[in-house]
Structure 1
Amino acid sequence: MNSQKLNNGPLLILMVNMFIAMLGIGLIIPVLPKYMQLFGATGADLGYLVAAFGLTQFLCSPIAGEWSDKYGRKLMIWTGLGAFALSQLIFAMADSMWLLYVSRLIGGMGAAAMIPSMMAFVADITTNENRGKGMGLLGASMSLGFVIGPGIGGFLAEFGLRVPFYVSAAVAGLATIASLIFLKETLSHEAQMEARNSQKKRENIFKQFAMSVKAPYFVLLILIFTLTFGLANFEAIFGLYVDKKYSYTPTDISIIITVGALVGVIIQSMFIDKLLKRFGEKKLMNASFLIAALSFLLMLLSGSFWYTLVTSSIFFVFTSILRPAINTLLSKMAGQEQGFVAGMNNAYMSLGNIVGPTLAGILFDVHVNLPYVFGAVILLGSLVMSLSWNRRTASQKNMATAVQR
């Protein structure tokens, strides 16, 4: 299905479904801090809830990536969306903490099924030349859901704190139906049968991680982990942080997240392809890690609404550049293992979603500023790792060129 020109039809359908799913997530963001107060939850409780999502996402991602190669992208996408819809419905109806955990565990399974298959879908319909654009457009559709979602969530909260969660379940259900009806399979039946009949035994998740450590793209997977750690750290505790420290309302929170995500959407949809071609993935990664880390620290310096809006927007802009840059490099290095690499990508991402919120919640209960200080340290460490990997790969390339001569 690859061609020199980007296949816009299937990609557009995928983007719409991704947008609807992310809209459902965005709806609940400004409401979550107040909603958690109904259950007497602490910062650590909120961190554990977010981590529960990452736990099942982590455990199921490698399996889902393999099933994407065996049974096709479409099946995994609509199954994942359906699980997410069920998760949001349970969250809306919950009357105790254990039901909230059940909801998040199911949601993590849905993300594990959906995200690797969407990434593999993009790889199926793009070439190395236009893959960066495809990944950028998919990322933009994700961000656009966050742009519109919080604003709608803040409005819906006026009718009751549970209303945004019910609406989230409904829009995820719509995305499931849309995928069933309109999305076309991109992996040929022959390729699926070849994967099913392969004599290569699937290793368990720990052996798959061991295999990824030996892969040439291992450092990129680590950077996916640290990027996700930083994002989950920022997002999981942001509502509690500005609520406790500056008494921001759900409306204030929704405006900040909406504006930041909107700027990220503009960058991803209009400029990411140009930026990748102009500077290359590696230079963009290094600059983005540095500026994202600095924006973490800048968050601590003032409680002004406009200041927080600007610093948050800077963070969203450069993290929105990071993910398609890393994903594009990973996809280029994956070769015929798109499903496996996408699954491992999601597994490392889910590890970030486990560790980031957990530590953020624990550190928040120790001191309100600690999550952002620690997040900045992690992102600066990522910059050092990326620079070291760039030098090492450049040296290896030069040696290989010298040998060929």
Structure 2
Amino acid sequence: MNSQFKKVMIFSSLIFITANFHHPVNPTYFTMLDLPSHVFGTSFAVMVFASFLTSPLWGSWGDNKSRKMTLVYSTILYGTSQLLYGMANNIWQILIMRGIAGLFTGGFMVGLMAMVVDVSTEEKRGERIATYSALMSVSMAVGFLTGGALGYLPIRYVFFIQGAVMILIGIGIYIFMDESNKPLRKGSKPQFIWNILGDKEKREAVFTPWILSFLGITFFAFIAYSSNNNAFNYYLRDELNFEPIVNGIWKATTGIIGLVANLTINVWIVRKTELKTSLRVLLGLALMAATMIYLKDSTYPFMLWSLLYFTFHTILFPLLQNFAVEDSHHGAGFMSGIFNAIKALGEMSGAIIAGFAYGLGSKVPFLLSAAALLIALILGLIQLMPRNKDKRLARESKNI
């Protein structure tokens, strides 16, 4: 592991730990402000919609300008937005500050993913993305656990602490990290996103049938994850009456399991299997777990199937990331940005679904999550059809 990759991993862990401080205390914050139940979904949806709009721009800016400064600006501005979020007093202030935060989350999400590609050879890229995803998973879990523990402080303090720490991380990136943008060092910059999207030939070269299927799978997989995750967080508080620390411990547990799974199962998948086949298998397993979450009402079976579902998603995520950057001819930031935009659009849709469907019944978001995974699996299986048809025609031609 070279020094550049180590630095990326260190700052990635710090960012994802800090960015998750607020999640376990949000339900308590919303309850304290006497907000309607849908706000846990709609506020998240506003944030990820803003991320959807800006992620391709952050990616393209990082390709053409500076990957390092993408991280510096996005982390400092996100931290500032969280300071202001902690001062909110009504639903409109909550939604506005979530939207402002979303403008900058795409910056560090896209920038970090592109940096992993920058500092990796093609042979090592799959394994390093798996390592990055594993670290992201456990860091998010540590962030949830830390946020849950901080929840014993006055709730607003959690957001103030989060904002201040994120600003310090941005300053640390500026001081200690190196520029990883290879095209920038070589002097040959990729084109901006609007130049690619505006040229029919280039657009068709990028958005092949497989890429379009892959983006559809990503979209529905993250509808499922966001609907499940947002409803799960609120369900623990609303139906099971768990304290924020329980949510934090739970996320820490899933993070540790995800870490082990990514460093073992995922590395084995990358090295030993055909990735598209593995993708379909994981979608099928996630669908099974999501369906059982909906069907099980007792606390222990519900929690067990939730654990399995989040584990399958944790393994699925780096596979999707790997597909996104397998061809970085147009810039790692460009493809990372497109992937993160579609991911954010799915998360936004899932959050809206969870927020409003929860009002129809506390288990309805989990049913809709399973339905979204079924669509993702169908898209993955449809993508097999042209290949199977080609194989059949080849066999028939040999028999003639």
Aligned length: 397
2-structure distance, mates of 1:194, 1:402: 47
Match of 1:366 among 332, 344, 360: 360
Instruction: Establish whether residue 320 from structure 1 lines up as the match of residue 307 from structure 2.
Output: no
Q: Give the drift of 1:399.
A: 7.8
SS in structure 1 opposite 2:152? helix
Q: Give the drift of 1:362.
A: 0.8
TM-score by length of 2: 0.90
Residues 224 and 369 in structure 2, CA contact (< 8 A), matched pair in contact too: yes
Q: Which moved more, 1:136-145 or 1:374-383?
A: 136-145
Residues 276 and 284 in structure 1, CA contact (< 8 A), matched pair in contact too: no
Match of 1:133 in 2: 127
Instruction: Establish whether residue 386 from structure 1 lines up as the match of residue 385 from structure 2.
Output: no
Q: Give the drift of 1:134.
A: 1.1
Match of 1:4 in 2: none
> Against the structure 1 CA distance between its residues 87 and 215, is the aligned structure 2 distance closer, same or farther, given a 3 Å change threshold?
farther
Match of 1:274 among 268, 272, 276: 268
The CA RMSD measured in Å over matched residues stands at 3.0
2-structure distance, mates of 1:276, 1:199: 29
Q: Give the drift of 1:197.
A: 7.9
2-structure distance, mates of 1:180, 1:334: 25
1-structure distance, mates of 2:106, 2:179: 18
> Against the structure 1 CA distance between its residues 212 and 51, is the aligned structure 2 distance closer, same or farther, given a 3 Å change threshold?
farther
Instruction: Establish whether residue 229 from structure 1 lines up as the match of residue 251 from structure 2.
Output: no
Instruction: Establish whether residue 123 from structure 1 lines up as the match of residue 117 from structure 2.
Output: yes
Instruction: Establish whether residue 375 from structure 1 lines up as the match of residue 369 from structure 2.
Output: yes
2-structure distance, mates of 1:89, 1:189: 35
Residues 294 and 364 in structure 2, CA contact (< 8 A), matched pair in contact too: no
Match of 1:289 in 2: 283
Q: Give the drift of 1:87.
A: 2.1
Q: Give the drift of 1:265.
A: 1.6
Match of 1:247 in 2: 241
Match of 2:348 in 1: 354
Residues 71 and 192 in structure 1, CA contact (< 8 A), matched pair in contact too: no
Letter of the 2:129 counterpart: M
Q: Give the drift of 1:40.
A: 2.0
Instruction: Establish whether residue 339 from structure 1 lines up as the match of residue 336 from structure 2.
Output: no
Instruction: Establish whether residue 61 from structure 1 lines up as the match of residue 58 from structure 2.
Output: no
Residues 246 and 303 in structure 1, CA contact (< 8 A), matched pair in contact too: no
TM-score by length of 1: 0.88
Match of 2:151 among 140, 146, 157: 157
Match of 1:195 among 182, 189, 193: 189
Unmatched segments (≥5 aa) in structure 2: none
SS in structure 2 opposite 1:195? coil
1:312-343 superposed Cα distances (whole Å, 9 cap, x missing partner): 22112111111111221222234343222111
SS in structure 1 opposite 2:368? helix
1:156-178 superposed Cα distances (whole Å, 9 cap, x missing partner): 11122223222222332232122
Letter of the 2:34 counterpart: G
**Aligned 1:53-132 pairs, distance under 5 A:** 53-132=47-126
Residues 264 and 320 in structure 1, CA contact (< 8 A), matched pair in contact too: yes
SS in structure 2 opposite 1:194? coil
Residues 286 and 373 in structure 2, CA contact (< 8 A), matched pair in contact too: yes
2-structure distance, mates of 1:380, 1:187: 38
2-structure distance, mates of 1:342, 1:31: 30
2-structure distance, mates of 1:392, 1:337: 28
> Against the structure 1 CA distance between its residues 208 and 189, is the aligned structure 2 distance closer, same or farther, given a 3 Å change threshold?
closer
> Against the structure 1 CA distance between its residues 196 and 279, is the aligned structure 2 distance closer, same or farther, given a 3 Å change threshold?
closer
Q: Which moved more, 1:263-272 or 1:212-221?
A: 212-221
Letter of the 1:32 counterpart: N
